[in-house]
Amino acid sequence: MLLAVSLQNVYKTYDKIPVVNDLSFTIETGEIFGLLGPNGAGKSTTIRMLTTLTQPTQGKIEIAGYDVVRQPSQVKQNIGVVLQQVSVDNDLTVWENMELHGRLHHISHPKRQVLIKQWLDYVELSDRRDSLVKTLSGGMKRRLQIARALLHEPKILFLDEPTVGLDPQTRRRLWEIIRDLNKQGMTMLLTTHYMDEVEFLCDAYGADKPGRIGIMDGGKLIELGTLQEFKAKHGQGLVMKQVGDRFEYKFFPTLEQANTYLDSLPDKTGIMVRPSNLEDIFVELTGRQLD
């Protein structure tokens, strides 16, 4: 099977300082992949290289089989991008934004009209087709960005902080859209600061194959696997002990072992046991919270 995304020994250097340092990973066709890391880890630079906005200093990147340096036009035809920043035109209507994007991708008129209607229906914006974008809520604008990114029928969708700044209800609705697209076969790379978002979208909840998560720090990939693989490696049980105004964490292979450890302590003051989660593992690996 053709890989959707492939990075091989990729470096990006600014002023002789490596921002991305020997980065290698692949994303299979149809996979959803979560890319995490603290600010300054190299995530944004990696996304810029994957979407042809920045060329790697060294190494090879292929998207849908095309080289991002030698074949950027073919890469752009195969990707959709939803940025954290609102990138739709506020002074155009919903339909005009879609129409402009379709024309830029040279989609023929009859097909363009069908696809615009199809994707506006999908993101539940058909009733706002003639509304100026400036009148839409933040969640509607983000849904419009997703519809626009899908209009030219890309094979791979890049989602950079897709729900930042949105209310919980809107975030959940976008999660449902993202998971549904993935179930339909869309390959996705997601970056986010919300750990619950990655757990929900990548853990599959009974799907045949969960998505993988890559954790970057200092320009390097320091951990790669599924959420369950992370928990099996680092521990599924967690003992938390309050020391002053902070907590100390101790991982155990299972929740039962964590409870056994707690039961053995003569003084249990300020100590609790709970299942570990992705944020616990992230902090264990990077030594700090996402900010």
Q: What is the pLDDT of residues 100-125, one digit of tens each?
A: 999 999 999 999 999 999 999 999 99
Residue 159's closest CA among 190, 180, 115?
Answer: 190
Query: What's residue 2's pLDDT?
Result: 80
Query: What's residue 109's pLDDT?
Result: 93
**CATH number listed for the domain at residues 3-231:** 3.40.50.300
DSSP-derived secondary structure letter, 210: P
Interatomic CA distance for residues 35 and 39, integer angstroms: 12
What mean pLDDT do residues 83-112 have?
Answer: 94
| Collapsed DSSP state (helix, strand, coil) of residue 2 | coil
Domain boundaries, the chain: 3-231, 236-275
The share of the chain scoring above pLDDT 90, in percent, equals 84
Query: What's residue 208's pLDDT?
Result: 66
Query: What's residue 121's pLDDT?
Result: 95
What mean pLDDT do residues 127-154 have?
Answer: 95
Tokens of 219: 């320009």
